[in-house]
Amino acid sequence: MKLNEHFSSLERSYLFSQIAREVDDYQSAHPSAEVIRLGIGDVTRPLAEAVVKAFADAVYEQGQAATFHGYGPEQGYAFLREAIAAHYATFQVQLSADDIFISDGAKSDVGNILDLFGPGNTALIPDPVYPVYRDTNQMAGNRIRYLDAGRHNGFLPLPDGRPADLIYLCSPNNPTGAVYRREQLKQWVDYARDLGAIILFDAAYEAFLQDEYLPHSIYEIEGARECAIEFCSFSKTAGFTGTRCGYTVVPRELERGGFSLHDMWFRRQSTKFNGVSYPVQRAAAAVFSPQGETQCRASIEVYRQNAAIICEALRGCGIWHVGGENAPYIWMQCPGGLSSWEFFRLLLNRAGVVGTPGSGFGKNGEGYFRLTAFGDTEKTQQAMERIADVIGRIS
């Protein structure tokens, strides 16, 4: 028997598993301490009322013989795909519902998409980066070339002339919260088309964009349909982290070597995936109803308020940071020359606040730290008061 030897190249544990262990150790040693978590990007607001009603109604349907649904279409029910296509139209992107594939989340699809590509491809991945991009390519045995992101380029790297087969972009970005402008994405689209490469574009946080001039989708850029696959999610838009639903867009125009990537993805999904449950898809479709949009927007506004609290506190401490305005993540420089893990442990032990060490996202994350805006507003305010106190003691 042969095992996948590429697993040996991975870090021994997933970043957030290591964080969880250290937090558990701290809480065991300090059982009365109140820990405030601004680390993992999990939402805290409940599902919108309109979403819950649609979910419950669909569950009731499943209990009646006349309305019971068994296996659904592997690509997703038309009612949800059409609702997503209508959502894209609000930012002037015309998609066919046939281009949209419903899944159990963007993270799954970002990993599974590598099934379409042979072994040994070269993946161009930003550093710092969401670990799933890096880890899944290591598992597949692909070559990885990193794009240096830092303060010098606003953590938004641009094409540097190096060849690649796959190009990973995330905007608004996880972990940095930085957002590509339209003209910057145009450079990437032109570059990919010249190379014959495929852009894998993660748009999971597009609902947090406030600036109307910032692109919500790679398909707002001319030529992207011939070179890009887009992933999106209901997790952050509508609080589906525990409900699980996302979607991937593979345009019909996207072809390589005489193969339609749309048809390949359909074949992959129909072979390895039996679709998302009917109640979850009904709940997801309700996100795009007038009531659902209003209610989901209210939750996003709470997270935006939290981000504003975080950014204001960091400015008051004189700490450089990016993100927060058009993204739920704030990427801050560690104070006093501390390393990422040193600052993590200092905050945990002195303030009872959990964030994410930037070095866990790559070598260029060293010396930086990620905070998330997904917590309770009162707790976020308390956390920033504690963080400000710790920073003040360092200074």
Contact in structure between 97 and 81 (CB atoms under 8 Å): yes
Distance, in Å, from the CA atom of 124 to the CA atom of 256, rounded to the nearest integer, reads 18
**pLDDT by residue (tens digit) across 118-161?**
989 999 999 999 999 999 999 999 999 999 999 999 999 999 99
**pLDDT by residue (tens digit) across 239-296?**
999 999 999 999 999 999 999 999 999 999 999 999 999 999 999 999 999 999 999 9
The pLDDT of residue 382: 98
**pLDDT by residue (tens digit) across 320-361?**
999 999 999 999 999 999 999 999 999 999 999 999 999 999
Contact in structure between 259 and 230 (CB atoms under 8 Å): no
Structure-token pair, residue 109 = 């699809």
Contact in structure between 374 and 41 (CB atoms under 8 Å): yes
What is this structure's pTM? 0.96
Residue among 264, 261, 386, 387 at smallest CA distance from 321? 387
Long-range Cβ pairs for the range 305-311 (8 Å, 24+): 305/377, 306/373, 306/374, 306/375, 306/377, 306/380, 307/373, 309/377, 309/380, 309/381, 309/384, 310/38, 310/371, 310/373, 310/380, 310/384
Residue among 100, 103, 83 at smallest CA distance from 290? 83
**pLDDT by residue (tens digit) across 159-213?**
999 999 999 999 999 999 999 999 999 999 999 999 999 999 999 999 999 998 9
**pLDDT by residue (tens digit) across 299-311?**
999 999 999 999 9
In terms of Cβ atoms closer than 10 Å to its own Cβ (0-12, 13-18, 19+), residue 73 is: middle
> Exposure pattern of 296-330 as b/e (b: 16+ CB <10 Å)?
beebbebbbebbebbbebbeebebebbbbbbbbbb
* Share above pLDDT 90 across residues of the chain, in percent, rounded to a whole number: 94
Structure-token pair, residue 384 = 């920033």
